[in-house]
Amino acid sequence: MKSRLSVCVLCICLALVGCKKSLSAEEQAQVKALRTELDATQKEVSATELQNARFSGGLVKAQMAWRLETLKTNEALLQQRIHAIESGAKVTVETVATKADPDRAKMLQEEMTKQELKVSEADAKASLYSGGLAGTMAVIGAATERNSLALLRQQYLVAKYGLASPQLAASSTHATLPGSETAPRGGSPESAPILADKDLSEQILEAKLLQKKYAKQDYQDYVFFDVAFNPSGLDKPARAIKGVLILTDLFGEQKFAVNWTIEKPVMPGTEHVEKGYGFRFNQFIESHQWARNTNKDNMKLKYRVNSILYQDGSSRTFNE
């Protein structure tokens, strides 16, 4: 009996050993390269956490928090890729599958080298100040350059190793051109929400793009829009309208969407124009590139209303 038990235990052990995946020479080399990338990423995460601890709030801390999120996403993708190669385990981060693209990886590596130089220059500039407004702006500028580098590195890892591409929300805010009558409003580009009464919500305001402008400012670039809204489906005077401006190509395929709140009165039958309203541009996000580079004549717009606040005090919501 004891002999049989020993044989069973031995068989189970051999079976467990046999389940372990044997890596090919190519896979071993890939794991080694991925671990090198992981080690560098973890060191950058630790350094950023130390920097982040020095600030209690404000724009600089917000930018560092964004960079930490990007770096930790990079770390998770690398760890899961290594684990997947070594054990065949399923990747658990919600992603879009990609293939390795050596040409793009090479191009991104060159861009990273240029961006690292920008980071060094920005850090050197920030070190010249001990405080004050100029010093704060210099620190913000350096943080912005580091954020761009973190996102660029993420795209490089995706291209070089065929990692799954994380679906991160675009880190953008609405802004207003200097001197514009429209006040700044916070928000971020997003995928248009799916509404039960989607068709109706898109028939209230007809949107037409009048002008598109790319503007380079001190520490951040922006894309601004001038849009005319024709309230053809508005039933009564509105005090404010909240919704999503959706940009599509000529075939109607959605390419970009941005939260857009009209904070001025809109009257039925009277065209309303909004000027100097846009988003913070990030050169490493494809939808941002499309919005900046595409000729306005090759863009189609539609405005999906989420809610209306009428001048008589009543309101109407479309996504509840």
Closest CA to 279 of 197, 222, 240, 226: 222
- Is there a contact between 21 and 87 (Cβ–Cβ < 8 Å)? yes
280 and 182 part of one domain? yes
212: its two tokens: 């598109």
Helix (H, G, I), strand (E, B) or coil at 177: coil
Closest CA to 156 of 112, 201, 116: 112
206 and 107 part of one domain? no
Per-residue model confidence (pLDDT) at position 88: 58
203, part of any domain: yes
181, part of any domain: yes
- In angstroms, the CA 84 to CA 89 distance is 5
Neighbours of 160 (CB within 10 A): 19
- Is there a contact between 276 and 224 (Cβ–Cβ < 8 Å)? yes
Per-residue model confidence (pLDDT) at position 198: 58
First CA to last CA across the chain, in angstroms?
68
Neighbours of 259 (CB within 10 A): 20
Regions of the chain where pLDDT drops below 70: 1-21, 88-99, 164-199, 218, 319-320
In sequence order, what E strands does 98-205 have? Answer: 165-166, 174-176
10, part of any domain: no
160 and 188 part of one domain? no
DSSP β-bridge partners for residue 206: 230
266 and 131 part of one domain? no
302, part of any domain: yes
> What confidence tens digit (pLDDT) does each residue in 196-217 have?
355 678 888 999 999 999 988 7
Per-residue model confidence (pLDDT) at position 12: 45
At which of 112, 146, 166 does a domain end? 166
> What confidence tens digit (pLDDT) does each residue in 154-186 have?
888 888 887 765 544 333 334 444 333 333 343
23, part of any domain: no
Give how many domains the chain has, as a whole number.
2
Q: Which residues constitute the domain of residue 198? A: 174-317
142 and 52 part of one domain? yes
At which of 112, 143, 166 does a domain end? 166
At which of 166, 200, 225 does a domain end? 166
178 and 312 part of one domain? yes
252 and 308 part of one domain? yes
Per-residue model confidence (pLDDT) at position 296: 92
